[in-house]
Amino acid sequence: MTKQSSNTVWHHATVTRGRRELQNGHKAAILWFTGLSGAGKSTLAHAVEERLHQIGCRTFVLDGDNVRHGLCGDLGFTDQDRQENIRRIAEVAKLMLESGTITLTAFISPFKSERNLARKLVPHGDFIEIYCRCDLATCEQRDVKGLYKKARQGEIEHFTGISSPYEVPDNPELSIDTGRYSLDECTDQVMVLLKERGIAKND
């Protein structure tokens, strides 16, 4: 549940999201990349950001590891801490949406309820869930951070896919087989969707 501090009133700015989008020349949106560790979420998010930047879009990537160096540095990986991690990110993404920015988030975000909470924070159509579909064996084979090996050896608790569950999205806006397609092909799929929705500029 979203928390609210007492004795506070939301301040409505005169520079609105609509005015910022008009200045930017494109719509704002939240692209929520979800999937197992090693599925390519961060890699794909940054590749999409590069494409968007090249055609003049204002963007920012909120990366799972990066936010745990500061904003969520006090959280562990229990189910409760994971839920709080996603709640904080969802609130930040909501603020960035109001700034007129195309915000890309790359988080395992294993639970449907937390992803749905993030979706419900913003107007319909502004939240685009992108499921990076990659089987566990392929993710373990990649294991670029050596985390699966540590999890298998019992050195990491609550590791998604090994000792903690991942709930596959029911109806994501886009499901990409990142274990089958190249990075460029995956990026193309995202860009096609963004252009169809009128979010990305035409290059």
The pair of structure tokens assigned to 108 is 């395992």
Q: Are 139 and 95 in contact (CB under 8 A)?
A: no
Tell me which of 5, 6, 37, 109 is the catalytic residue: 109
Judge whether 42 counts as a catalytic residue: no
Question: Beta-carbon neighbour count of residue 51 at 10 Å?
Answer: 19
Q: Are 141 and 135 in contact (CB under 8 A)?
A: no
- Any bridge partners for residue 104, and if so which? 31, 61
d(Cα 69, Cα 200) in Å, to the nearest integer? 30
Alpha helices in 99-135 (DSSP H): 112-120
**From residue 178, how far is each of 2, 61, 155, 159, 191 by CA, in Å?**
33, 19, 27, 20, 15
- Catalytically active residues, by annotation: 109
